[in-house]
Amino acid sequence: MTSTAIAPPPLAPALAAPRARAHEVDNRAAYVSFGLAYVLGHGAAAVSGGDSPWIALPGWLPVTLLGTGLVTGIVLATRAALRAQRGAAAPDVLSGKLLGAAWVVAFTALFLAITGLTSVLGDPELGSVLWPAGSGLVVGLLYLAEGSVRRNLLHYGLGGWLALVSTAALLFASPGLFWVLAVAGGGAYALAAPLEHRRLRALAP
């Protein structure tokens, strides 16, 4: 009578050693750029706005600082997303392309909405309030979508915070609105950058 060796059962998936997901998007550079845009751009608008400005700055400077940081951040975020898509499965590549197109659609819709409101109401100064708050809301909602698709809780949480802060800032008159965006928005990005580094290290094989 021969004995048959009994092979041990395979390791259950729940007990298997965790493995890092491939093709993770590295958002560190984009977070730093967006954070600088918020701190320098909105910060410059905050210190130079109101009836008693702290510093007299030309009106074009805050807009230039904000725009430069945002455009740079969008470019860096796009490069990081494209880099992560190399060798990815077709469904993941399609999701990345759709998310990239969502940025264009969302900001085009924001432009049309603000242009229409300022034109119909006859108040061009309204754009100086709606653009910073509206762009923060749009970015926050896009982060929520990206965080959901990529299963990135940090990105999702940052998006939710930016969406809430940007809309809550409308409760304050200028320059209070810009102070809220600079401190709460820029501070969130400043915190998210090192947390993103920690997240990527945890996912590294």
Mean pLDDT per 10-residue run, the chain (205 residues)?
48 39 81 94 89 81 89 89 80 84 92 92 85 92 93 96 96 92 96 94 83
Question: Which of 200, 199, 188 is CA-nearest to residue 31?
Answer: 188
pLDDT at site 37: 93
pLDDT at site 21: 53
pLDDT at site 94: 87
pTM for the predicted model, two decimal places: 0.82
As a whole number of Å, the end-to-end CA separation of the chain is 47
Cβ-proximal residues to 47 (8 Å cutoff; 6+ apart), any chain? 53, 54, 55, 57, 175
pLDDT at site 17: 35
